[in-house]
Structure 1
Amino acid sequence: MGFSIATTALRAIPGAFILNSGVGKLGMPREMAEGLQGMAASGVPKLGELTPEQFAKFVSYGEIAVGAALLAPMVPKRIAGAALGTFAAGMLAMYFRNPAMTEEDGVRPSQDGTALAKDAWLAAIAIALIFGRK
């Protein structure tokens, strides 16, 4: 397992961001959990079957786990990339399955969809971690 500045950047920046997001969601109020759950269920319908409390724990612990995997140097980059790829796939599923997020062509982001469309960068980082050399 060699050290690479490029791999470190690919892991540290999204890892810190996602970890911070997960920590910020710990103990989120029920109303916030319900709002996030409704949005998440548009991309991953099974998430709608959880209680808001279960969803809040799932999303906060999940983000913490993905962020920590990216930041922990002992986690192989392909495993960290797979975790990030799974996270990005969920975010992009919400984007593509919610018509309000895209323009009429179903691809370009609407004003409301810009924040989620940016998660395509996370998918690109995941691909680089999984398939990149070294």
Structure 2
Amino acid sequence: MHIHLIPLRLAAGAYILNSGLSKRGADEDTARGLQDMAAAAYPVVKDMEPKKFARLLSTSEIALGSALLVPVLPRTVVAAGFTAFSGLLVGVYLKTPALHVGPGDPRPNDQGVGVAKDVILFGAALTFLLDALRLDARAAARKTTKKVAKETAKVSRKTVEAGAKAAAVGVAAKKLRHHHH
């Protein structure tokens, strides 16, 4: 893990893990509230049983928070999951007018301040994802460069060998010509 990502991963991972743990065993009212908020932005969850939705959300947050805290999965996979999750949270905020100052105004009202922080989480996730992609691209470029250098060296050796053989044949042919004269 790169040192510059440690603060981001620790802070986001601890926050998301805590959020998931706090939803573990949510009562019916809490589960329904979570589901209603999500369903306003993403109608596909409307038909789920509220407690099942809360368990799924809790488990997802625990898994993502843990993945950020304990770097065992590939960084790009974790960064993509973090970005997708935080993007969904931003979607909930943006698609819930009751959290905004007024119609068409994306600024948060008093009820929206707690949810608007997800924009910061999304920015952190995008930063992590872009950095992971950059590092993966750099690693791939290094690997390709090594492979090209190895193949170039092989071709160069074969070219030198072929040149040496051609020179030897040329010398031999010249000797034969001089020998026949």
TM-score, normalised with respect to structure 2: 0.69
1:76 aligns with 2:60: no
Give 2:31's aligned residue.
Answer: 33
Q: 1:11 is aligned with what amino acid?
A: R
Where in structure 1 do 4 or more consecutive aligned residues deviate above 4 Å? none
Q: 1:69 is aligned with what amino acid?
A: A
Give 2:122's aligned residue.
Answer: 123
- Contact 1:43–1:91 (CA under 8 A) maintained in structure 2: no
Give 2:105's aligned residue.
Answer: 106
Identity of aligned pairs, percent? 36
Once the two structures are superposed, residues 30-88 of structure 1 have per-residue CA deviations (whole angstroms, 9 ceiling, x without a partner) of 11101111111112111111001211111110111111111121222221111111111
Shift of 1:14: 0.7
RMSD over aligned Cα, in angstroms? 1.3
Secondary structure of the equivalent of 1:108?
strand
Q: Measure, in 2, the Cα distance between the counterparts of 1:65 and 1:45.
A: 24
What count of residue pairs does the alignment treat as equivalent? Answer: 132
Larger Rg: 2
Gaps of 5+ in 1: none
Shift of 1:106: 2.8
Give 1:42's aligned residue.
Answer: 40
Q: 2:122 is aligned with what amino acid?
A: A
1:86 aligns with 2:84: yes
TM-score, normalised with respect to structure 1: 0.91
Gaps of 5+ in 2: 136-181
